[in-house]
Structure 1
Amino acid sequence: MARRAFQAVILGPPGSGKGTISERIREHFGLRPVSCGDLLRGNISRSTGYPRSVVQVHTLALHFPLDTVLELQVPTAILQQRLTSRWLHPGSGRIYNTEFNKPLVQGVDDITGEPLTQREDDRPKTVARRLDLYAECTKPVIEYYTKEGILHTFSGSQTNQIWPDVFNFLKDHIKTLPDQLEGPHNA
């Protein structure tokens, strides 16, 4: 009998570290992450829609039953600072942050020397609206997953604070793990 793959969702506001946590999960557990943000942007560009409501989440659950939902909680002030400090090299998708991952020359991509841009989504007024919208839209989804008994919340102000707890939780909950796992170092 074939074993079903471990399926999880990571919820968190913009800038909470979902991409970084997903990459570390891939690295340590060999699971393949799918970025909802990338899917959402693709669906918007194709005008094909995206599941945002509890009804849509419930419908998805019928086809893709989840083992767990990981919620990342990061203080709003930190998210605002993190997002408004983010700059992008449009050609490659490389992301810089003026707080903790600065380019060698301000405003310039380290590899190509081309100018960096700031996404409209990362400008201060837009960031505030995005965080409010996330809280409003996600509250019923979080309540749904809480009632289902599969929501697990991880809090901190930095991904490196959250990651060890996520690692230990997954290590205890994924049934198809190799016998030896590398510890929760910060990738």
Structure 2
Amino acid sequence: MRALLMGLPGAGKGTQAERIVKRYGVPHIATGDMFRRAVELGTPLGLEAKRYMDQGLLVPDEVTIGIVRERLLEPDAARGFLLDGFPRTIPQAEALEALLAELGRPLEAVLYIAVPRDDLVERLTGRRICPKCGAIYHVKFRPPRVEGICDICGTPLKQRDDDREEVVVKRLEVNAAQLEPLLAFYREKGLLYEVDGTPPVDEVTQAIFEILDRVKGTR
């Protein structure tokens, strides 16, 4: 299974990615993890990426695609992969397409978990964190037993600055503007599968599995 997972912040990509890789036995290749892995291994491209990251700069596309190539050539990706967080732009998507064609391992499916903006705002702004033990709650979906107090250690819960509504709304706008051209790119190629991300988590998972099983069955 060679797939790409897309969705706006709060859509539930992390949860679904865990379930996809467990079912299909492929690695979850997320951009941040990929960079950290390359840096830890000390590869020439990893060290070059680190030089940019240490300066707070974006890693150039040619370095990023080189790190993607290195990661896809590792043994655990031989049976497939789930890409997450890359590509972010049309040039990156085109470079990825060329790389996968060269490797003879083209994408089979692009999964987009679609959730209305208002639902995403509710999910993200309702999150609360325990500053002492790191436990995560949600005022609606996973409230603590006592409002505003951590179940585990009794510490008052906090809302992260980047979970405040004005920050969340701006973040979603920026991400949506970046995502739309990519959705159009993959839709035109017949690879895009849109999944409704609003039902319960297990129902979303089942919908994703049905798509991927169907894609596998047509190979």
Which TM-score applies when normalising by structure 1? 0.75
Cα separation, partners in 2 of 1:119 and 1:32, compared to 1, 3 Å: farther
The residue number in structure 2 matching 1:7 is: 2
CA distance in 2, matches of 1:89, 1:34: 29
**1:149 and 2:190 matched:** yes
TM-superposed CA distance for 1:97, in Å, is: 1.2
Correspondent of 1:75 among 87, 100, 116? 116
Tell me which structure has the larger Cα radius of gyration: 2
Q: Does the residue aligned with 2:147 lie in a helix, a strand or coil?
A: coil
Q: Does the residue aligned with 1:110 lie in a helix, a strand or coil?
A: coil
Q: How many aligned residue pairs are there?
A: 169
The residue number in structure 2 matching 1:164 is: 206
**1:30 and 2:25 matched:** yes
**1:59 and 2:101 matched:** no
Which TM-score applies when normalising by structure 2? 0.65
Q: Does the residue aligned with 1:174 lie in a helix, a strand or coil?
A: helix
Deviation string 1:20-51 (CA, Å, 9 cap, x unpaired) is 11122133223322344x55997896435265
Q: Does the residue aligned with 1:77 lie in a helix, a strand or coil?
A: helix
TM-superposed CA distance for 1:12, in Å, is: 0.8
Alignment of 1:130-145 (within 5 A): 130-145=171-186
- Is the contact made by 2:113 and 2:196 (CA closer than 8 Å) also made in structure 1? yes
Unaligned runs of 5+ in 2: 37-49, 60-86, 101-105
- Is the contact made by 1:73 and 1:155 (CA closer than 8 Å) also made in structure 2? yes
TM-superposed CA distance for 1:99, in Å, is: 0.9
Cα separation, partners in 2 of 1:107 and 1:32, compared to 1, 3 Å: farther
TM-superposed CA distance for 1:7, in Å, is: 2.2
Identity of aligned residues (%): 33
Q: Which has the higher helix share?
A: 2
Measured on the aligned residues, the alpha-carbon RMSD in Å equals 2.9
- Is the contact made by 1:9 and 1:70 (CA closer than 8 Å) also made in structure 2? yes
